[in-house]
Copies of this chain bind each other. A is one copy, B any other.
Amino acid sequence: MPQVDYFHHSPNMPTPPLSAAARVGNLLYVSGTPGFHVGGRLDEGDFGRQFDQAVVNLREILANGGSSLRSLVKVNVLLTRADDVAEMNRRYAQAFGPAPYPARTTCVVAALPDPRMLLEIECVAATQET
C-alpha cells in the first residue's frame, strides 16, 4: 500500500477533523482552504481580503507539502455569491499567474461550513515523491 503523508494546519486555525493536505506519490491534495487569518479571524463580507488570505494560506500549505502555486495541476474555487466571479478571476490571475494556469472549476454553492465564508479554494499539486 502506498504511504499517505498528512500535513497539519498552523496552530490556532479553526480545526474541523481534517488535514490541511495529504500527499500520495507525487500528488498533494489540499483541503478546501478559506481565508481565515491565524487566530481564526475572517474578514466578514470582504471578498477581496478573504481571497487574498486564502492564497496566503494555500502558499503555506503547499510549501509544507513540498509544492507551490507554480506546480498546481487542478484548482476548484467554491464561491457563495455569483457576483464575486469577476473579482475572483482578476485576483486569481494575479495570484496564480502568469499562464499557463492549472485546470480549474468554479462554482457557486448554497453555503460553506461557516456562514461568514465567501470562498474556499482546494487544489491538487505536483510535489516531490518522498
Contact = CB atoms under 8 A, between A and B. Distances in A.
A102 to B, nearest CB: 5
A70 B96 CA distance: 32
Contacts of A120: 105, 107
Interface in A54-109: 67, 71-76, 78, 80, 82, 85, 89, 92-93, 96-97, 99-109
Contacts of A126: 1-4, 24
Given A109-B109, A110-B110, A111-B82, A99 B17 contact: yes
Interface residues of A, number: 61
B109 A108 contact: yes
Contact of A74 (B22, B82, B109): B22
Nearest to A112: B107
Given A26-B25, A82-B110, A126-B2, A103 B71 contact: no
Interface of A: 1-4, 6, 8, 16-27, 29-32, 67, 71-76, 78, 80, 82, 85, 89, 92-93, 96-97, 99-113, 115, 120, 122, 124, 126-129
